[in-house]
Structure 1
Amino acid sequence: MIFSAPRFVVVDDRDHHLLAITRTFQLLGTPCMGIRYDPAEELKQDHFKGVRCLFMDLHLVDGQASTDQRRHYGLIASILEDNISRNGGPFILVVWTEHEHLSAELRDYLDQNIDAEKPHARPLAVLSLAKEKFINVGDGSIADPEELKQAVHDAVVANPQIAALLGWEADVLLAAGDTLAELLKLVPAAERVSASFPGALDTILSRLAREAVGRPNVEVNHRTAITTALAPILADRVLNQEVSAETAELWKKAVTRHNDDSLKDASNQEAGCVNRMLHVAVPGSETILATDWGAVVELSEDIWNSDDQLRQVFDGTRLELLEEEFKIKAADHERCRPYLVRVGAACDYAQKRRGPLTYLLGLEIPADLKRSASAPAAEWKSPALVLDGTQSPFRLHVNVRFSLSRPAGACEAWKIRYRLREQLLMLLLSHSNGYTSRPGIVQLPSK
């Protein structure tokens, strides 16, 4: 997909209003997509995938106000539920009305009536602007575009947290452009002609990919290989961008509670959601293979439910593993689920060396579960994790003494739970290396 979804989207039922508003944004140098609302036609979800500011006429039905405002509010709610992307990110809803109390009523209506299963469809803020100030509602002629730009800016900046996040996204887009520009500088000037440019760029991309993930792994996922090479450059440019005094001041207003002693510690639920975002990749949002470094896969039920097979693989029965190794009381056995975590040497993974893949035995244990005894030294545990907002927080406990090795081809069909991102995976690997290589030291008793 080489075309980016629009960040500014306008929905209106009148063609001349729609044309005037979109032209106003274009005169400001801001790409804006106009969508004419027709009750007889479905809106296209793709048009809303990247929306950050959604401008919508408050009265899309009949084009005028009525005593039954809930009818109009309900229509807007259904449009949001049907079209806002679950993975699209936050957006602001700006409604055209000169009556601010109506936008407040709409905000309350959306807070209470948007489908609880679709929280992504709920706007971060509902703002109001009077359309009459910016265009002639009679003939659609444009007033001063700068006035609309300033009005939108002032409305957004009134909430510094929202303004800062939208500004951050714009900074990332700018940094991405800078990163691509730096990449293209590697192409010699003599080869920047139509006939030579593609081949020269292919050479550079191929070299980057091979150095980033190792020659054998490029074929697995070419895009991931290039992203691995460019991501550190992009992150550095985002972190070290020169920002204006206005932007710096905006961030100071947006982040104010970091030194607040009264700010309560995060609950396991809150911490689990944050840790999932930072340290865990889940299927659907990212491509994950069962053979990926850090992949957490389900242990086969055939193995877990067979003491004979468990003895062959882990030298212990299910009861022995749960109670003697993971210290789980009999009453809590069913609350815990076994998983395997793909580990191994980073160089072997990068170079796709021949040999069986190594997985460590792990157990997802609810964060509130009390175990029968202290954990053994061989055990590593993750921070609290929550994969989705509906489940209770848990921790992944991994005992590095229990490993399983299989050829890559035998693992490809294993069911994936999630993948530990590299920072968290390295903590597990560090614990494993420290445990398996610890020296045995005989100490004399102190006198």
Structure 2
Amino acid sequence: MMFAAPRFLAVDDKPEHLTAILETFQRLGAPCMGIQFDAAQPLEKIAFRGVRALFLDLHLITGVKTTDDKQHFANIASILEENISEIGGPFILILWTEHAQLAAALTDYLDQSLDADKPWCRPLAVMALAKEKFINVGTGATEAADELRQAVEAALDGNPQLAALIGWETDVLAAAGETLSSLTSLVPAASRTTAAFGGALDEVLSRLAVEAVGKKHVADDPRAAVTGALAPILADRIVNQDGGGPTAALWAKAVTRHGQKQLPQATPAEAGGINRMLHVAVAGPERIAPADWGAVSEVPADIWTDKALTDVLGVDIDHLLRAEFKVHRDHHALCRPRLVRIGAVCDHAQKRPGPIPFLFAVEIPGTVARLAGPDGKVVPPAAEWRSPVLTLPTVADPFVLHVNSRFEMNRPAAATGAWKAIYRLREQLLMQLIGHTAAYVGRPGIVRLP
């Protein structure tokens, strides 16, 4: 997708009212996309993929007369459930209506009626702007652009957390623009002509890609190669932007519960969700292959048998789960065997030939108690590395990924094509695992004096 998704979106069945609000935003210098509602035509879902403030006319269905407005409320709920993107991010709903007093009733309706399995389609807040205060509802003429700007800002400021995140998103876009500017500044002045600029920029991008992954591997994924070179620059610009003045004041209002007395202990599910966001890339939104560095895959059925496992590891399934991963036989079926791709990142980036190392692992749900020793204590093997508690979109119950550094299997990348990758450990967490494995297998047996 070449163009960024609109952050402000307005939906109205009356073209003159839609034009009025779009013209107002244009005069304010803020881009807003308008959609004329037609009950006979589905809305373009792609337009909603990044919305932060959604302006909806309450009465989009013409000809419907009802005393409690439930049919109009149901229509709005349907629009949200069918169009808000699962990965689109938070938004507020602003009723653009002549009946602003109905905002509270709509809020109650949405709280009770929106699909519980689609939490992303719930607005963080429902507010109302009375059309007649800002436009001529008869002609659609714009009458109070500055007042509308103030009303929109007040609506966003009413939720400082959302306002701070929208500001952060704007900072990221600004940092991306600065990164592109610094990139294009590398093109010599003599080459900044219509005919020569593209070729000169190609040379710059090609040099960056070669330095990132090596000349032989750029063609495999040029985008990933250039991104690898630019990502550290972008991250540095984001982190080191000026955050003082009004920005600091806004963030101070948005983040207030960090004190010990105010912040309740996270539940396992809450901790698992945060850890997933920070440390796990999930297959689906991100492309993950079993041979990718840090990929966590299902153990193929032809390997997860007593005979195959004994050939590869020297132990059968029962021994691996019970003696090594300390899981009682009654709970074996609750645990999920996995293979974690480790190895040198340069070998992965440059696609060097040779077998790829995989470590055997098990996802153990938080409700499963591990086997204790005679003293009543659970003592995992020194070879074991444990992830923080995690959850996945397809696995709501929190679990911990247990990896044993002694049980390794090697396969060439071509042999993993039929495997199913579930997620990928991001670099910081993966490096912990690789560091643990390196320390375990490389113990020199030094005798130290007290």
* TM-score normalised by structure 2 residue count: 0.95
Letter in 2 for 1:395: V
Q: How does 1:224-239 map to 2 (within 5 A)?
A: 224-239=224-239
Counterpart of 1:310 in structure 2: which amino acid?
L
Name the SS of the counterpart of 2:86 in structure 1.
coil
- Superposition deviation, residue 63 in structure 1: 7.5
Aligned residue type for 2:206: S
Deviations 1:334-358 (A, max 9, x none): 1111111111122322332221111
Aligned match of 2:366: 367
Show the 5 A alignment for 1:210-359. 210-305=210-305, 307-359=306-358
Q: Quote the residue 1:51 is aligned against.
A: 51
Q: Hey, what's the Cα distance between the residues in 1 that align with 2:423 and 2:257?
A: 32
The separation in 2 between residues aligned to 1:97 and 1:206, in whole angstroms, is: 53
Residue number in structure 2 paired with 1:380: 385
Is the alpha carbon distance of 1:333 and 1:196 closer, same or farther for their aligned partners in structure 2, counting shifts above 3 Å? same
Deviation at 1:260, TM superposition (A): 3.3
What CA deviation, in whole Å up to 9, does each residue of 1:112-167 have, x standing for no partner? 10111221111111111111111111111111311111110011101111111111
In structure 2, how many angstroms separate the alpha carbons of the residues matched to 1:390 and 1:111? 25
In structure 2, how many angstroms separate the alpha carbons of the residues matched to 1:203 and 1:388? 42
What is the CA distance between 1:437 and its match in structure 2? 0.9
Amino acid at match of 1:57: D
Equivalent residue number for residue 75 of structure 1: 75
**TM-score of the pair, normalised by structure 1:** 0.95
Where do 1:99-114 residues align within 5 Å?
99-114=99-114
- The CA deviation at 1:218 is 2.5
Letter in 1 for 2:381: P
Equivalent residue number for residue 408 of structure 2: 403
Quick one: which amino acid aligns to residue 40 of structure 1? A
Shift of 1:277: 0.7
For residues 343 and 252 of structure 1, the distance between their equivalents in structure 2, rounded to whole angstroms, comes to 41
Displacement of 1:40 after TM fit? 1.6
> Which of 408, 417, 421 lines up with 1:412 in the alignment?
417
Q: Percent identity?
A: 57
User: For residues 101 and 131 of structure 1, do their structure 2 counterparts lie closer, same or farther at Cα, with a shift above 3 Å needed?
Assistant: closer
Structure 1: stretches of 5+ with no match in the other structure: none
Partner of 2:376: none
| CA-CA distance at 1:389 after TM superposition | 7.1
For structure 2, the 5+ residue unaligned runs are 373-378
Measure the CA separation in 2 of the matches of 1:283 and 1:320: 30
Match of 1:6 in 2: 6
The equivalent of 2:375 in structure 1 is: none
Separation in 1, partners of 2:158, 2:117? 29
AA at the equivalent of 2:77: A
Give the SS at the match of 2:111: helix
Number of the residue aligned with 2:29: 29
Name the CA distance, whole Å, in 1 between partners of 2:262 and 2:146: 43
- State how 1:389-400 maps to structure 2 within 5 Å: 391-400=396-405
Distance 1:201 1:179 in 2: 14
Q: Which residue of 2 aligns with 1:41?
A: 41
Alpha-carbon distance, 1:380 to partner: 0.3
Q: Secondary structure at the match of 2:94?
A: strand
Query: In the TM superposition, what is the alpha-carbon distance from 1:397 to its structure 2 partner?
Result: 0.6
Q: 2:243 and 2:65 mapped to 1: Cα distance?
A: 44
SS at match of 1:4: coil
Matched, 1:423 2:428: yes
The question of whether the paired residues in 1 share the 8 Å contact of 2:10 and 2:33 is answered with yes
**Count of residues in Structure 1 that have an aligned counterpart in Structure 2:** 444
Contact 1:294–1:421 (Cα < 8 Å) also in 2: yes
Alpha-carbon contact 1:290-1:297 (below 8 Å) kept: yes
Q: Deviation of residue 43 (structure 1)? A: 1.1
**More divergent stretch after superposition (48-57 vs 260-269):** 260-269
Q: Displacement of 1:428 after TM fit?
A: 0.2
